Structure 1
Amino acid sequence: MFTIEQLSAFVETVETGSFSAAARKLGKVQSAISQHIMTLEIDTNQQLFDRSGRYPQLTKAGKRLLPQAKAVIAQHRRLSQQLKSLDESEPQTLTLALDEGVPYGELAQHLSAFSTAWPNIELEFLNASSHDIIQLIQHRRADIGLVVSEITYPDLVEFETIGSIEFDLMVSTNHPLAKTELTHLDMLKLHRQVVIGARDRSPSLYNLQHSPDVWFADNYYMIAELIKGGFGWGIVPKHIMQDALMAKQVCSLPANFQQLDWLANIDIIQHLGTGNAASQELRRQLRLMMQSSRG
């Protein structure tokens, strides 16, 4: 019967591209990796790699096995983390990382309920972009994250969708785009775009670059100030711009640009297997917060 070690050797060989690289990644000698895979091939009665070239290539059987092997490894990690948590004492601290694009104006009352249930827990709050929060969770710098949803998350990051927010394409009322008849999306490329995130960051659902002229900021409130100042157009959470809309400092672009408006999910994210009773209660309060924000 196959073992986790065999499956790990198989998956790492695929992901790193060679037996030697997999050995380095797993901290083993190359012969051990080769032996694990050979044994796995015997146990499955299938050749998993074509070894005729310089680097091993997956066979059809190997390609079929790969997603199943990854699923078993992920489940094993989850089980290991949960078993480990059974031996841990009551947590003393929890770190909550929040994307400021998420509406959390009613957070205080829900924190009050959490504090009543867990009076001895020390809470730490971090503000960051969703991209950075995912990294914080992945590296266990934060326990729980509240983020704008991504299509995929790293293997050891689990998520739960608890709400949504509306994004809208906005400009200053003094910006040329606000005073021009807009007939096609390419007209946006003639004007600067302000984008959430760092200049060297990989594109995400909420920071796609449409214009060749781009300014970057790491938080939506800076984006809002740049838009109000007339420095460019941007796609931002509508609730952040509500006061500026009421004051007629900014406006939404016309209806023929609505394909750039979108409704984004809000996710709670957490590292696999790190949950405990306190974090479950905090997650419950965050769910209630999002429910109340929807009215």
Structure 2
Amino acid sequence: MDTQALAAFVEVAESGSFSRAGETLHLSQPAISKRIAVLEEQLDKSLFDRVGRSITLTDAGRTLLPYARRVLHDVEDGRRALSHLSDQVSGRLSIGTSHHIGLHRLPPVLREFTRLYPSVDLDIHFMDSEVACQSVLAGKLEIGIVTLPTQSLPSLEMRLIWPDPLTVVVAPEHPLAKKKHVALTELADHPAVLPDEATYTHRIVKAALQKHGVEPRIRLATNYLETLKMLVNIGLGWSVLPRSMLDSTICAVNVTDLSMQRDLGVVWHERRTLSGGARALLKQLQD
């Protein structure tokens, strides 16, 4: 049974779309369809019900899915284990990271890594930290360089790399911008633009505010910190951003009794073999 066909099957099953599976695997939709057709012919079973644009697994597809995942994980673990037999660090290294970390933390790390290990093919995927963690657990990515989960996840190893202090920010023209100290109740009187509620950063901010009985009046939420910075700058509301993003376009506000920090770091699956490239990058991040 062709592992490429199994990979196509798993991706279609998880995304619910032949076209999205093709985008993920860097293949055309006809190429994905052909691989599925070959697999169905080999098994003499239909794996998907296709009704209009809707795609659902058949009983045979649901039965095959966990076995297909296991086969792909075992093949990948074997590839990584074999890479340890060579002194040369090479092969593909799949990484998931957030846009913020990719812009502000990773460039010098990856520049040095590619200089030291030119034979490693970096396969970098930009996504929310929460999605990256789940992709590592599912075996789609080898490591994630992310905002670390606020609570431990089963089978996910985590290592802190960069403490990332957070601060309340406003536009330079905001009524709170010139005040030396701002009470939480006064802050809550103004509208906020915050990270999306599904993000770890939102949970950190919400927990810090709820500790003092404050419920923010959220005008807008988005996953992208650079977008939040722009929204703050144009006066749409206050927000909470990493101190590292402070510049002349926004002002930090000293809010009484409010201290927040998120942790940025690396995650990997505790039961999967890491490739030579992944181990080298982990060591570089720690150093």
Mark yes or no: TM-score above 0.5: yes
Contact 1:150 1:204 in 2 (8 A): no
Q: Which amino acid aligns with 2:262?
A: A
Q: Secondary structure at the match of 1:204?
A: helix
Matched, 1:219 2:217: no
TM-score by length of structure 1 reads 0.58
The aligned residue for residue 257 of structure 2 is 259
Q: Which amino acid aligns with 1:216?
A: A
Question: Which of 82, 92, 100 is the aligned partner of 1:89?
Answer: 82
Deviations 1:99-123 (A, max 9, x none): 3444865644443443354433221
Deviations 1:38-78 (A, max 9, x none): xxxxxxxxxxxxxxxxxxxxxxxxxxxxxxxxxxxxxxxxx
**For 1:100 and 1:134, how far apart are their aligned partners in 2?**
14
Q: Secondary structure at the match of 2:176?
A: helix
The aligned residue for residue 155 of structure 1 is 154
**For 1:196 and 1:250, how far apart are their aligned partners in 2?**
17
Question: What is the RMSD computed on CA atoms of the aligned residues?
Answer: 3.4
**Aligned pairs for 1:226-237 within 5 A:** 226-237=231-242
The aligned residue for residue 46 of structure 1 is none
Residue 88 of structure 1: CA displacement? 4.4
Task: State the number of aligned residues.
Answer: 203
Structure 2 stretches lacking a partner, 5+ long: 1-62, 64-72, 84-89, 210-214
Contact 1:103 1:239 in 2 (8 A): no
**For 1:224 and 1:195, how far apart are their aligned partners in 2?**
10
**For 2:278 and 2:259, how far apart are their aligned partners in 1?**
33
Deviations 1:194-242 (A, max 9, x none): 1112x5668522565741333111111011111111111111011122x
Structure 1 stretches lacking a partner, 5+ long: 1-26, 28-79, 289-295
Q: Secondary structure at the match of 1:230?
A: coil
Identity percentage over the alignment? 18
The aligned residue for residue 145 of structure 1 is 144
Residue 192 of structure 1: CA displacement? 1.5
Pair member with larger Rg: 1
Moved over 4 A (4+): 84-88, 103-106, 179-183, 199-203, 206-209
Contact 1:196 1:207 in 2 (8 A): no
**For 1:146 and 1:87, how far apart are their aligned partners in 2?**
19
Contact 1:164 1:266 in 2 (8 A): yes
Q: Secondary structure at the match of 1:93?
A: strand
Contact 1:85 1:276 in 2 (8 A): no
